[in-house]
């Protein structure tokens, strides 16, 4: 089931898959080497470098020591992140089989092809609707749950979907959205409930109607991620000092005013962190669409398209171009996120 | 002396450790092959039974790895330099691609070619060859484009059972009769996960074949026929006579697109029946019998050939089959591939899944019932055999074709823009 668990990765990384590691040779031995060998290697490396430094002149050793100590991390970073990114960028300027250079033709394709534009539009739709709705619901539940006795239970229930994989959630929701013609017994929860509640209701094929299918998919994403937003925001709310709230009450502020002028400003950094995390997640959204519609009827998103170009069509050029665009789109959000994290650290 | 003793001990320990390591390295059983395929459930049981007979005979273990997304997994493993020994593919398209990249073993060095020529029809050899070299052995074939019906339900409704050799017009006339009774004639369902739409491509292929003949059909899957040509459009519109009309297909577009192909025949067997005809390959029999365990072949469900359109091509038949390819030519692989090609191995699929053998010597007695036997003899006797066209196309063309069917069912009035989009993909893929 490799494809189902496939994490979306820059196309260039395909060259980094370790050659020929056949798992049928004694796996335990390999495991032992990995578990014991890697730490031993590191200890050996540090000991050796310290010994070398001991011999070197005292004055210069501190700066040289720094280089020695950060070298392993830097090398790993270069091998596993920098090199694949550079390879991907190079591949994105080559043809389908990565032979000749084609300049920016792949990028031109991504930004002019009608199907690709539709894909970009869908990602935008996901970005706006998913992020706003998840944040709103997460905040609402965090605020409401804060005031009740059974808070832990309520929060656990909302958080539960986070424990399921996207694929499982996709399959569950496929059943939820199931369609049977009017008159036949409705086995899909959504249509069954609506038929029971609304007289004369016509069952809808939610996933196969271009007016509803993107929304139907986004709902699944919101259902899964609201719990995440809620947990982080709830922690943020708990972090607001009670004396500030009490001071506001004494000054005669009502609950809405407290929320608007005290809670919200103090919660802003947390909201930003949650929002940026959600944006990064939504830009990579893949599994839900793959399982539920496979991008049919105008539901395709960037990651699905990249997967198809890469693994089905073997067009490494286009797949890499899409990967690069995705990377570039995520970078500003990343920077914002890291900045916020640093500020959060400084506050605490 | 004392020091020497110590170092001797140390040396001994090293030697013991080395031997242990060596033993662990070589302890793995020597004879074994790895097979990658798509099978699960009942098909996997049959595959395992087939492999067990092989292991009992040769002592070679078969390690099977299954995936529903074979294309992607094979691509990744081949690129990583770690292909399986043998893979079971679902169509020749992937085989052609791999063979052209030089990744596959030439089977003429592996198989007993005299026996192969004797046991297999030339057609199967041609389909398994690329540039004159044999790379694939077909097994578990299915006849596509059969029209299934429920004889009891038809009798109860006072309808005549369709007969082989019926025409598209006969079918429309019979459909009109059913509509006059206030019922829908056809049950269609094309949902199939990441391959949704393929049932519709089967429809269009069968129509196209019977309208334009095998030569143009071949040109089509080789990317030489424009999707915007009048022939192409006519084939889609003929398909549209069924799926674009909610009075013709049960539940209309929403039902067709959201119903999995495996459950799509169900309306024929409901009480009262919601539909009377269902087009699907011979393998649907096992789905029907799983879903309705009391249904008996011939009496409760039966099939006729696809209605003929142009009488010149009425004897044409579309087939599909799984095939095995080898990535290495080790002695173990050699034994396995020869076994796969044998009637003995293929009989497992015939008996277990109703899959039709491609080896001529799979005796008709292996087939579980009269209906499968009939499909098998149909396959042996037919004049024009063509392979499922979409499986022969380039993957991006095939994928676009699947999706296009889903879009067409959803909104038939978009046909022109759907075909224009397919034409764009063709120009891009076959340049």
Residue A271 lies in a domain: yes
Sequence-ordered list of residues with C-beta below 8 angstroms from that of A214, at least 6 positions apart, any chain? A122, A125, A126, A298, A299
One domain, residues B405 and B287: yes
Residue A1 lies in a domain: no
B6 and B313 Cβ atoms separated by less than 8 Å: no
In this predicted structure, the answer to whether residue A3 has a pLDDT above a threshold of 50 is no
B62: containing domain? 32-142+321-381
Residue B22 lies in a domain: no
Residue A82 lies in a domain: yes
From chain A, the residues in CB contact with B407 under 8 A are 296-297
Sequence-ordered list of residues with C-beta below 8 angstroms from that of A189, at least 6 positions apart, any chain? A175, A176
More confident residue, A49 or A19: A49
Q: Provide the mean pLDDT of chain B.
A: 89
Binned at pLDDT 50, 70 and 90, residue B6 comes out as very low
Kindly determine whether residue A181 and residue B421, on different chains, have CB atoms separated by under 8 Å.
no
Binned at pLDDT 50, 70 and 90, residue A1 comes out as very low
Percent of chain B predicted with pLDDT > 70: 93
Phi, psi of A239 (to 5 degrees): -80, -10
B413 close contact with A: CB closer than 8 A: no
Binned at pLDDT 50, 70 and 90, residue A19 comes out as very low
One domain, residues B129 and B235: no
Kindly determine whether residue A2 and residue B251, on different chains, have CB atoms separated by under 8 Å.
no
Q: Give residue-wise pLDDT tens across range B154-206.
A: 999 999 999 988 999 999 999 999 999 999 999 999 999 888 999 999 999 99
One domain, residues A86 and A193: no
One domain, residues B114 and B151: no
One domain, residues A28 and A117: no
B387 and B319 Cβ atoms separated by less than 8 Å: yes
| Mean pLDDT across B198-221 | 96
The predicted pLDDT at position A142 comes to 95
- Whole-angstrom CA distances from A57 to A48, A54, A61, A63, A67 are 16, 8, 6, 11, 15
| Mean pLDDT across B18-33 | 60
Distance from CA of B77 to the nearest CA of A (A): 9
Residue A102 lies in a domain: no
Binned at pLDDT 50, 70 and 90, residue A57 comes out as low
The predicted pLDDT at position B220 comes to 97
C-alpha dihedral sign at A304, A307, A311, A317: positive
How far is Cα A233 from Cα A241, in angstroms, rounded to an integer? 15
Of the three residues A63, A91, A119, the one that is the final residue of a domain is A91
One domain, residues A155 and A20: no
How far is Cα A318 from Cα A312, in angstroms, rounded to an integer? 12
Of the three residues A91, A120, A137, the one that is the final residue of a domain is A91
A209 close contact with B: CB closer than 8 A: yes
Distance from CA of B216 to the nearest CA of A (A): 25
How far is Cα A315 from Cα A11, in angstroms, rounded to an integer? 10
How many structural domains is chain A composed of?
A: 2
The predicted pLDDT at position B299 comes to 93
Look up residue A138 and give its two tokens.
């997460």
Kind plus residue range of the DSSP H or E element containing B304: strand B302-304
| Mean pLDDT across B278-304 | 92
How far is Cα A322 from Cα B132, in angstroms, rounded to an integer? 38
The predicted pLDDT at position B169 comes to 96
Residue A101 lies in a domain: no
One domain, residues B369 and B405: no
In this predicted structure, the answer to whether residue B139 has a pLDDT above a threshold of 90 is no
The predicted pLDDT at position A222 comes to 97
B211 close contact with A: CB closer than 8 A: no
- Whole-angstrom CA distances from A320 to A78, A107, A324 are 19, 10, 6
B67 close contact with A: CB closer than 8 A: yes
Q: CA-nearest residue of chain A to B101?
A: A97
B150 and B273 Cβ atoms separated by less than 8 Å: yes
Read off the DSSP letter of residue A98.
Answer: S
From chain A, the residues in CB contact with B410 under 8 A are 208-210, 297
A210 close contact with B: CB closer than 8 A: yes
One domain, residues A158 and A185: yes
From chain B, the residues in CB contact with A308 under 8 A are 396, 399
One domain, residues A86 and A114: no
A49-58, A304-313, B399-408: range with highest mean pLDDT: B399-408
Read off the DSSP letter of residue A263.
Answer: I
Helices (H), chain A: 2-5, 27-32, 38-55, 61-77, 83-91, 105-112, 114-125, 131-145, 151-159, 166-176, 189-197, 213-238, 242-250, 255-258, 264-283, 287-292, 302-307, 316-347
CA dihedral B375, B381, B385, B390 (to 10 degrees): 0
Pick from B69, B71, B81: CB nearest A19: B81
How far is Cα B202 from Cα B149, in angstroms, rounded to an integer? 18
Best probe of the A interface among B63, B80, B399, B425, by most A CBs < 10 A, is B80
Q: What is the DSSP string of B273-297?
A: -S-SEEEE-TTHHHHHHHH-TT--B
B270 and A190 Cβ atoms separated by less than 8 Å: no
Q: CA-nearest residue of chain A to B40?
A: A1
Residue B301 lies in a domain: yes
Q: Give residue-wise pLDDT tens across range B62-88.
A: 999 998 788 889 988 998 999 999 999
Q: Give residue-wise pLDDT tens across range A242-272.
A: 899 999 999 999 989 999 999 999 999 899 9
One domain, residues A190 and A52: no
Look up residue A292 and give its two tokens.
């539920």
- Whole-angstrom CA distances from A11 to A5, A7, A17, A312, B155 are 16, 11, 11, 13, 59
Residue B99 lies in a domain: yes
Kindly determine whether residue A20 and residue B28, on different chains, have CB atoms separated by under 8 Å.
no
A175 close contact with B: CB closer than 8 A: no
Kindly determine whether residue B252 and residue A181, on different chains, have CB atoms separated by under 8 Å.
yes
One domain, residues B268 and B403: yes
Look up residue B59 and give its two tokens.
């002592």
Pick from B27, B194, B421: CB nearest A26: B27
Map tokens 């392993």 to a residue.
A72
From chain A, the residues in CB contact with B399 under 8 A are 308, 312-313
The predicted pLDDT at position A55 comes to 73
Pick from B72, B252, B257: CB nearest A312: B72
Kindly determine whether residue A29 and residue B194, on different chains, have CB atoms separated by under 8 Å.
no
One domain, residues B401 and B270: yes
- Whole-angstrom CA distances from B163 to B167, B174, B302, B308, B378 are 9, 12, 11, 11, 14
Read off the DSSP letter of residue B333.
Answer: H
Side-chain-side CA neighbours of B368 within 13 Å: the count stands at 15
The predicted pLDDT at position A4 comes to 32
One domain, residues A204 and A251: yes
Phi, psi of B140 (to 5 degrees): 50, 60
SS3 B131: coil
A238 close contact with B: CB closer than 8 A: no
Burial environment of residue B293 by CB neighbours within 10 A (0 to 12, 13 to 18, 19 or more): exposed
Of the three residues B358, B381, B404, the one that is the final residue of a domain is B381
- Whole-angstrom CA distances from A332 to A326, A327, A336, B381, B425 are 11, 10, 6, 66, 34
Of the three residues A40, A63, A91, the one that is the final residue of a domain is A91
One domain, residues B167 and B274: yes
Q: Give residue-wise pLDDT tens across range B354-372.
A: 888 888 888 888 888 889 8
Q: CA-nearest residue of chain B to A24?
A: B28
- Whole-angstrom CA distances from A182 to B128, B251, B399 are 47, 8, 31
Max CA distance (Å), chain A: 89
One domain, residues A183 and A326: yes
One domain, residues A60 and A174: no
B222 close contact with A: CB closer than 8 A: no
Q: CA-nearest residue of chain A to B270?
A: A184
A314 close contact with B: CB closer than 8 A: yes
One domain, residues B245 and B343: no
Best probe of the B interface among A17, A187, A296, by most B CBs < 10 A, is A296
One domain, residues A85 and A163: no
Read off the DSSP letter of residue B359.
Answer: B
Residue B19 lies in a domain: no
Strand partners, B86: B35, B326
Residue B27 lies in a domain: no
A47: containing domain? 11-91
Strand partners, B368: none
Residue B18 lies in a domain: no
In this predicted structure, the answer to whether residue B35 has a pLDDT above a threshold of 60 is yes
- Of B376, B147, B379, the closest CA to residue B281 belongs to B147
How many structural domains is chain B composed of?
A: 2
Q: What is the CATH number of the domain that holds B60?
A: 3.40.190.10
Percent of chain A predicted with pLDDT > 70: 89
Kindly determine whether residue A297 and residue B410, on different chains, have CB atoms separated by under 8 Å.
yes
One domain, residues A207 and A340: yes
Q: Give residue-wise pLDDT tens across range B239-250.
A: 999 999 999 999
Binned at pLDDT 50, 70 and 90, residue A67 comes out as confident
Kindly determine whether residue A311 and residue B76, on different chains, have CB atoms separated by under 8 Å.
yes
Q: Give residue-wise pLDDT tens across range A177-235.
A: 999 998 889 999 999 999 999 998 999 999 999 999 999 999 999 999 999 999 999 99
One domain, residues B312 and B325: no
One domain, residues B125 and B256: no
| Mean pLDDT across B284-303 | 92
SS3 A296: coil
In this predicted structure, the answer to whether residue B353 has a pLDDT above a threshold of 90 is no
In this predicted structure, the answer to whether residue B422 has a pLDDT above a threshold of 50 is yes
Kindly determine whether residue A181 and residue B250, on different chains, have CB atoms separated by under 8 Å.
yes
Span of A282-286, A303-307, B378-382 with lowest mean pLDDT? B378-382
One domain, residues B414 and B300: yes
What pTM did the predictor assign?
A: 0.84
Binned at pLDDT 50, 70 and 90, residue A54 comes out as confident
Q: Give residue-wise pLDDT tens across range B47-59.
A: 999 999 999 999 9
How far is Cα B379 from Cα B318, in angstroms, rounded to an integer? 9
Q: CA-nearest residue of chain B to A298?
A: B407
In this predicted structure, the answer to whether residue A128 has a pLDDT above a threshold of 90 is yes
Best probe of the A interface among B72, B187, B197, B390, by most A CBs < 10 A, is B72
Kindly determine whether residue A181 and residue B407, on different chains, have CB atoms separated by under 8 Å.
no
Residue A5 lies in a domain: no
In this predicted structure, the answer to whether residue B385 has a pLDDT above a threshold of 90 is no
From chain A, the residues in CB contact with B257 under 8 A are 205, 208, 297
Q: How many CB atoms neighbour CB B192 within 10 A?
A: 16
How far is Cα A47 from Cα A49, in angstroms, rounded to an integer? 6
Residue B9 lies in a domain: no
B93 and B398 Cβ atoms separated by less than 8 Å: yes
One domain, residues A243 and A211: yes
How far is Cα A332 from Cα B53, in angstroms, rounded to an integer? 60
Q: Provide the mean pLDDT of chain A.
A: 87
The radius of gyration of chain A's CA atoms, rounded to the nearest angstrom, is 26
How far is Cα B403 from Cα B78, in angstroms, rounded to an integer? 27
In this predicted structure, the answer to whether residue B96 has a pLDDT above a threshold of 70 is yes
More confident residue, A170 or A32: A170
Best probe of the A interface among B29, B62, B258, by most A CBs < 10 A, is B258
In this predicted structure, the answer to whether residue A95 has a pLDDT above a threshold of 90 is yes
Strand partners, A94: A101
Q: What is the CATH number of the domain that holds A300?
A: 1.10.3720.10
From chain A, the residues in CB contact with B69 under 8 A are 1-4, 311
Residue B13 lies in a domain: no
Distance from CA of B196 to the nearest CA of A (A): 8
The predicted pLDDT at position B2 comes to 42
In this predicted structure, the answer to whether residue A59 has a pLDDT above a threshold of 80 is no
One domain, residues B402 and B273: yes
**Per-window interface: A 98-157 vs B, CB < 8 A:** 114-115
């Amino acid at each position: 089931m490799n494809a189902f668990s496939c994490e979306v990765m820059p196309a260039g990384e395909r060259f980094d898959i370790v050659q020929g590691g056949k798992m049928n040779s004694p796996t335990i031995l390999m495991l032992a080497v990995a578990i014991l060998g890697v730490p031993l290697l590191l200890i050996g490396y540090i000991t050796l470098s310290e010994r070398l430094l001991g011999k070197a002149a005292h004055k210069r050793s501190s700066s040289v020591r720094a280089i020695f100590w950060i070298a392993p991390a830097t090398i790993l970073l270069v091998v596993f992140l920098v090199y694949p990114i550079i390879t991907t960028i190079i591949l994105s300027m080559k043809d389908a089989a990565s032979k000749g250079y084609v300049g920016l033709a792949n990028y031109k394709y991504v930004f002019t092809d009608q199907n690709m534009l539709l894909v970009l539009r869908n990602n935008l739709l996901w970005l706006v609707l998913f992020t706003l709705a998840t944040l709103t619901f997460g905040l609402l539940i965090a605020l409401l749950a804060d005031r009740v006795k059974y808070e832990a239970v309520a929060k656990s229930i909302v958080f539960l979907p986070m424990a399921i994989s996207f694929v499982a959630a996709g399959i569950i929701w496929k059943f939820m959205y199931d369609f049977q013609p009017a008159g036949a017994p409705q086995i899909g929860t959504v249509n069954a409930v609506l038929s029971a509640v609304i007289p004369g209701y016509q069952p809808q094929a939610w996933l196969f109607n271009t007016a509803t299918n993107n929304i139907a998919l986004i709902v699944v994403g919101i259902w899964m991620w609201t719990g995440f937003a809620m947990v982080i925001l709830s922690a943020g709310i708990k972090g607001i000092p009670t004396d500030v709230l009490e001071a506001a009450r004494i000054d005669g502020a009502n609950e809405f005013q407290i929320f608007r002028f005290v809670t919200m400003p103090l919660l802003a950094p947390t909201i930003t962190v949650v929002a940026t995390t959600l944006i990064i997640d939504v830009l990579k959204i893949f599994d839900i669409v793959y399982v539920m519609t496979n991008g049919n009827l105008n539901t395709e998103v960037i990651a699905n398209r990249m997967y198809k170009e890469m693994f089905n069509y073997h067009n490494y050029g286009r797949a890499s171009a899409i990967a690069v665009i995705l990377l570039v789109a995520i970078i500003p959000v990343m920077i914002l996120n890291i900045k916020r994290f640093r500020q959060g650290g400084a506050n605490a | 002396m004392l020091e020497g003793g110590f170092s001797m001990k140390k040396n001994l320990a090293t030697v013991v450790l080395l031997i242990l390591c060596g033993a662990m390295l070589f302890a793995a059983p020597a004879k074994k092959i790895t097979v990658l395929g798509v099978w699960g459930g009942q098909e996997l049981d049959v595959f395992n039974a087939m492999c067990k007979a092989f292991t009992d005979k040769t002592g070679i273990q078969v390690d099977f790895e299954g995936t529903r997304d074979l294309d992607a997994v094979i691509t990744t493993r081949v690129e990583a330099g770690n292909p399986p020994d043998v893979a079971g593919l679902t169509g020749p398209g992937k085989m052609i691609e791999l063979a052209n990249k030089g990744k596959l073993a030439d089977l003429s060095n592996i198989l007993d070619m005299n026996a192969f020529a004797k046991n297999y029809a030339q057609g199967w050899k041609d389909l398994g060859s690329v540039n004159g070299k044999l790379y694939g052995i077909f097994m578990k074939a299915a006849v596509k484009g059969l029209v299934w019906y429920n004889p009891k339900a038809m009798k109860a409704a006072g309808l005549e059972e369709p007969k082989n050799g019926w025409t598209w017009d006969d079918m429309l006339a019979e459909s009109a009769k059913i509509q006059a009774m206030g019922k829908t004639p056809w049950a269609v369902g094309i949902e199939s996960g990441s391959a949704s739409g393929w049932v519709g491509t089967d429809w269009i292929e069968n129509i196209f074949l019977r309208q334009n003949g095998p030569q143009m059909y071949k040109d089509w899957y080789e990317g030489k026929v424009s999707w915007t040509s009048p022939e192409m459009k006519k084939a889609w519109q003929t398909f549209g006579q069924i799926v674009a009309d909610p009075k013709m297909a049960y539940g209309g577009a929403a039902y067709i697109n959201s119903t999995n192909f495996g459950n799509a025949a169900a309306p024929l067997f409901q009480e009262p029946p919601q539909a009377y005809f269902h087009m699907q390959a011979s393998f649907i029999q096992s789905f029907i019998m799983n879903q309705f365990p009391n249904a008996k072949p011939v009496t409760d469900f039966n099939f006729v050939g696809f209605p003929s359109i142009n009488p010149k091509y009425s004897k044409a038949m579309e087939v599909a089959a799984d095939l095995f390819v080898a990535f290495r030519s080790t002695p173990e692989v050699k034994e396995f591939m020869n076994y796969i090609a044998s009637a003995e191995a293929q009989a497992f699929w015939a008996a277990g899944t109703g899959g039709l053998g491609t080896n001529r010597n799979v005796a008709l007695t292996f087939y579980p019932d009269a209906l499968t036997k009939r499909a098998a003899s149909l396959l042996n006797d037919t004049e024009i055999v063509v392979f499922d066209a979409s499986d022969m196309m380039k993957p991006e063309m095939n994928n676009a074709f699947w999706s296009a069917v889903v879009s067409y069912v959803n909104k038939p009035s978009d046909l022109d823009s759907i075909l224009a989009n397919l034409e764009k993909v063709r120009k891009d893929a076959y340049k």
